[in-house]
């Protein structure tokens, strides 16, 4: 089962990241369901502010084009102003290479510990949470598949587990469906 966290927990962890580069990196992971490697390796050229899209290179060098929101664009611009790397959105300290996955993980663990979350909360939990929250809001699983960059719908189906909000929705639906089903009928004891 994927580790899914509440929106509040995801936002709290991201807010606990000290450096803007780390906050920006993990904001994209949670806000777009990116893998950690996809986020740290984003070049500046991935941001197309004219078309308002973010171009992400995923597994197998498959590109996916994601809609860029004004708030994410502004956040990325603010992060870029802190380092002004001509090549990377999230550069290493030397600016000539991108932030390493290991360095990003260390920052994540420090923020997680500062928030008091358990070790099950990993960077990939943000991706799981993104997908699960979209499902809870009724977004079609095929759209989630495209956003996550899964070539197979089977990969996306792991997010269809019954989270608490989905269980509540199902319970309400079943109550609506079955409430009148047995009215006026007596159970048979045969």
Active site residue 19: no
How crowded is the C-beta side of 167, counted as CA atoms within 13 Å? 4
Encoded tokens for 50: 């004219």
Encoded tokens for 76: 């990325």
The answer to whether 99 and 21 have CB atoms below 8 angstroms apart is: yes
DSSP string, 14-74: HHH--SHHHHHHHHHHHHH---HHHHHT-BGGGEETTTTEEEEE-GGG-EEEEEPPHHHHH
Active site residue 35: yes
Which of 5, 64, 112, 150 is the catalytic position?
150
Active site residue 150: yes
Which is it for strands 53-57 and 47-48: parallel, antiparallel or unpaired?
antiparallel
* Sequence-separated (6 or more) residues with CB below 8 Å from residue 90: 21, 24, 25, 39, 40, 42, 79, 98, 99, 104
Which is it for strands 53-57 and 63-67: parallel, antiparallel or unpaired?
antiparallel
Which of 5, 112, 127, 128 is the catalytic position?
127
Which of 22, 30, 32, 159 is the catalytic position?
159
Which of 5, 23, 35, 133 is the catalytic position?
35
Q: Which of 54, 67, 58, 55 is nearest to 35 (CA)?
A: 58
Which of 11, 124, 167, 172 is the catalytic position?
124
Active site residue 59: yes
Which of 11, 59, 62, 142 is the catalytic position?
59
Active site residue 189: no
Give the active site residues: 35, 59, 124, 127, 150, 159
């Amino acid at each position: 089962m994927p580790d899914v966290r509440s929106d509040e927990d995801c936002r709290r962890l991201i807010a606990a990241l000290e450096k803007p580069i780390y906050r920006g990196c993990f904001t994209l992971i949670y806000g777009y369901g990116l893998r950690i490697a996809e986020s740290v390796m984003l070049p500046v050229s991935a941001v197309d502010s004219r078309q308002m899209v973010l171009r992400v290179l995923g597994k197998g060098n498959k590109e996916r084009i994601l809609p860029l929101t004004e708030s994410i664009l502004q956040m990325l611009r603010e992060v870029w102003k802190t380092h002004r790397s001509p090549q990377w959105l999230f550069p290493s300290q030397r600016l000539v290479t991108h932030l390493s996955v290991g360095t990003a993980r260390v920052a994540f663990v420090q923020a997680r510990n500062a928030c008091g979350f358990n070790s099950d909360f990993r960077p990939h939990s943000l991706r799981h949470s993104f997908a699960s929250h979209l499902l809870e809001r009724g977004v079609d699983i095929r759209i989630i598949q495209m956003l996550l960059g899964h070539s197979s719908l089977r990969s996306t189906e792991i997010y269809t587990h019954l989270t608490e909000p989905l269980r509540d929705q199902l319970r309400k639906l079943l109550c609506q469906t079955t409430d009148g089903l047995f009215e006026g009928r007596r159970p048979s004891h045969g």
